Structure 1
Amino acid sequence: MYKNTNKQANAIAGWGYRLTTIKARKYAIENQLPFISLEDGFLRSVGLGLDGFSPLSLIADKLGIYYDARSPSELEKLIKDKNRLVLHLNDATEAIKLIIDNELTKYNHAPAFTGFSNEPHIQNKKVLVIDQTVGDMSVKYGGADQQTFFEMLDKAIKENPNATVYIKTHTDVINGYKKGFLTSNLDNTSVILFSDDINPISLLKHVDKVYVVTSHMGFEALLLGKEVITFGLPWYAGWGLTDD
């Protein structure tokens, strides 16, 4: 793929940390070329990628990748750029409002959540524990593993004795494509498994507190002003907005 080409490459690109990028990364190092990591954008598509929906946004990162806590990323560089923040503060504020008002998320196929009004524990404080899929690179490179999810659930239960604790199943698990860290190994009867395929932001609007490892739903919860407790090292942690 890289041999016998007449044109000199300026950079090598590959999809995140997939195994398919090993040779590409090696080639980039050997030829002193920058490697550009590609990933789905945070507002990816209308439906699931595994259902054939093409991405409408793409992340291209020459420094690292946002979910790898071991090294800097273009996103981290942007966050630290205070001058850019001042210049684009109004745009950012408007973007947040548009995201919340229209409940825009990574996959946008699921219906809106209408609330807990028909449940007897409606008056209880509602705590949401976010599960993720086994094999999620943001878990591995966010310093977490299977045990981290068990510890998160245990803490959520102990720290909120009078609350109703829900576990949110990942949409890829609901649709039968992958397994979850918690929802595929759940033996705890004191929590409620929330396995409806609904819009994440619409659900977050109805809860009081959110526990995450590295899930992007933690960032969406921050956009809504929710209390967020992280057990891994997601890109939005460590800035004073989350309880890490």
Structure 2
Amino acid sequence: MKKAIVVLRKSWKNPYVREYLKDYDSVVIYKSEKNIRYHKSVDYFFWANDIHNDFVAKYRHESNFFFFEDGFIRSSGLGADHIRPLSLVFDSQGIYYDSSCASDLESIISHYELTRDEYERARALKTLLIEHRVNKYNIDLSIKPTIESNGQKTILVVGQVESDHSILRGASVIQTNEKLLALVRENNPQSFIIYKPHPDTLVSARPGAVKEGCFYDQLVEKGSILDIFGQVDEVHTITSLAGFEALLRNIPVFTYGMPFYAGWGLTHDHYTCSRRERRIDLETLLFCALVKYPVYAGNDGQPCEVEEIIHLISKEDHQVSFSTKLLRTKRNFLKFLGFKF
């Protein structure tokens, strides 16, 4: 009997996690590691954020231990809004955004050699993503932001949720949006700087807000980042996936942490990672990150390929539903009262 034990603190995720683990005869989900015991015959799955406990520290290097997290093409809508993900990643070493240790994705990028057919698939996949305007969350696609740079070099600075583990475990010094903006302004005093906050900081009051006019020339809250890409000369980020999405559109990317796509010779990096010695091309990065690493499942929960997910997202209605608006209102009211999520 093939058994999985999952530790998942947010119960709204339980149904879709079971879908992704349907190959197991038994899937038992706990909200805490306190009530579980280790057995060699069982596979253990921890949401990658939930790692700071003695059980993980003791057993994380065992072959039956996995971390999992949302994939890079996630959904039409935010995880903060309880939207089901169309992809997950399962990692036996660490997780892609934690540059302090190796991950399965890093190992794949370090060693995988694409065949001729895989190169062709990677190029076609890049074209498909751009033509169908698909990225991680696929929100605000109907709003077209206009940049007012007046011919200056234009830089997009991408905001992030400052409590997110991609910053806490992927950046060592610059861990706030204000510090990022200040450094970009210091190094580019004559440039026109656009700042786009992370959508989660706008809809769910997660940490990451900056003071009005803080080292930027234009604030863009609404609209898809994909429409901004076509109006900028550079993208600067700590560890945001937007940097990867910009690379796919041949925009120079500057990183101030160590996201999974940095350190391979494709980005301008503020820091280095000694494990990442290989120089790769964009097709290799894209194929490893979007084909080899994640697992995809359609709305029916059935496994599928990334290309099917792109077509699915491109056909969906990207408007915010009434239930989502209600969830945001309830959550923000509870946070106002002091509740933590």
Which category describes the TM-score, using the shorter chain as reference length? 0.7 to 0.9
Query: Is residue 2:199 matched to residue 1:174?
Result: no
Contact 2:158 2:240 in 1 (8 A): yes
Written as runs of structure 1 = structure 2, the 5 A alignment for 1:214-229 is: 214-229=239-254
Amino acid at match of 1:18: D
Query: Is residue 2:218 matched to residue 1:192?
Result: yes
Query: Is residue 2:49 matched to residue 1:17?
Result: yes
Query: Is residue 2:36 matched to residue 1:2?
Result: yes
Amino acid at match of 2:96: Y
RMSD: 2.6
The Cα shift of 1:50 comes to 2.1
Q: Which of 93, 97, 106 is 2:123 aligned to?
A: 93
Written as runs of structure 1 = structure 2, the 5 A alignment for 1:127-206 is: 127-145=155-173, 149-180=177-208, 183-185=209-211, 188=214, 191-196=217-222, 198-206=223-231
CA distance in 2: counterparts of 1:24 and 1:37, whole angstroms: 13
Query: Is residue 2:266 matched to residue 1:241?
Result: yes
Contact 2:80 2:204 in 1 (8 A): no
Q: Who is 1:28 aligned against?
A: 59
CA distance in 1: counterparts of 2:102 and 2:216, whole angstroms: 39
CA distance in 2: counterparts of 1:146 and 1:80, whole angstroms: 26
CA distance in 2: counterparts of 1:28 and 1:217, whole angstroms: 33
Q: Who is 1:67 aligned against?
A: 97
CA distance in 1: counterparts of 2:173 and 2:200, whole angstroms: 19
CA distance in 1: counterparts of 2:172 and 2:125, whole angstroms: 31
SS of 1:237's equivalent in the other structure is coil
Query: Is residue 2:234 matched to residue 1:209?
Result: yes
Cα deviation code 1:186-221 (max 9, x no counterpart): 56365322222x222222222111111111111111
Query: Is residue 2:60 matched to residue 1:57?
Result: no
Alignment length, in residue pairs? 235
Contact 1:35 1:62 in 2 (8 A): yes
Post-superposition, which runs of at least 4 consecutive aligned residues in structure 1 deviate over 6 A?
A: none
- Structure 1 residue runs of 5 or longer lacking an equivalent are none
Amino acid at match of 2:131: D
* C-alpha spacing 1:84/1:122, structure 2 compared with 1 (3 Å): same
Contact 2:95 2:103 in 1 (8 A): yes
Contact 1:47 1:108 in 2 (8 A): yes
The Cα shift of 1:129 comes to 0.8
Identity of matched residues, %? 31
Cα deviation code 1:23-82 (max 9, x no counterpart): 55256359x453211000111111112222111100101121101111111111221234
Amino acid at match of 1:22: N
- Structure 2 residue runs of 5 or longer lacking an equivalent are 1-34, 270-341
TM-score in terms of structure 2 length: 0.62
Amino acid at match of 1:207: V
